[in-house]
């Protein structure tokens, strides 16, 4: 029964985070989803196919298309045909993409800092552990 309250809290806190992040990201012309896609590419350290990107972002491939469309139009990534498999599209991050991502990362850091301001470092670690355990139980 108290899980209802816990769920509600999760919803409220996440929305607050989104809100702050969205505003800080606005000057960069990025949405949170686009920033996440850039991050996935940087973390991978190599170009990713659309399906792989979808996998990383935990969304269906169809939903990746508009995200990459926007990033490509902004010159932050480019699409290349995978020479190994002509059905596949490789998404390559550009230098501009790397630069913008650094600023997006800072935006997220600040949004998180604002949000979690009341928590001590130790409490944040705790929170990270708890959420990490929850997420880890799935894929």
Positions touching a copy of itself (CB under 8 A) are: 1-18, 21, 32, 36, 58, 105, 108-109, 111-113, 115-119, 123-124, 126-128, 130-138
Q: How far is the CB of 65 from DNA (least distance, A)?
A: 4
Strands in 89-93's sheet, in edge-to-edge order, are 48-49, 89-93, 77-81
Q: How far is the CB of 53 from DNA (least distance, A)?
A: 8
Beta bridge mates, 78:
92
Q: Quick one: 20 or 52, whose CB is closer to DNA?
A: 52
Give residues in contact with DNA (CB under 7 A).
15, 22, 31-34, 49-52, 57, 59-68, 79, 82, 85-89
Cβ atoms within 10 Å of 60's Cβ, excluding its own: 11
Question: Residue 44: is it exposed, middle or buried by C-beta count within 10 angstroms (0-12/13-18/19+)?
Answer: middle
Binding at 66: pick from DNA, a copy of itself, none (beta carbon under 5-8 Å per type): DNA
Beta bridge mates, 90:
49, 80
**97 closest CA partner among 52, 134, 136, 44:** 44
Q: How far is the CB of 36 from a copy of itself (least distance, A)?
A: 8
């Amino acid at each position: 029964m108290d899980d209802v309250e816990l769920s509600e809290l999760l919803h409220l806190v996440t929305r607050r985070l989104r809100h702050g992040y969205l505003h800080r990201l606005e000057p960069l012309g990025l949405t949170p989803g686009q920033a996440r896609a850039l991050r996935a590419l940087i973390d991978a350290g190599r170009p990713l196919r659309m399906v792989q990107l979808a996998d990383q972002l935990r969304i269906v491939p169809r939903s990746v298309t508009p995200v990459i469309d926007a990033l490509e139009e902004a010159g932050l990534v480019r699409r290349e045909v995978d020479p190994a498999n002509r059905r596949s599209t490789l998404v390559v991050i550009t230098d501009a993409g790397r630069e913008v991502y650094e600023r997006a990362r800072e935006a997220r850091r600040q949004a998180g800092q604002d949000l979690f301001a009341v928590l001590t470092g130790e409490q944040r670690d705790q929170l990270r552990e708890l959420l990490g355990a929850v997420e880890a139980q799935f894929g």
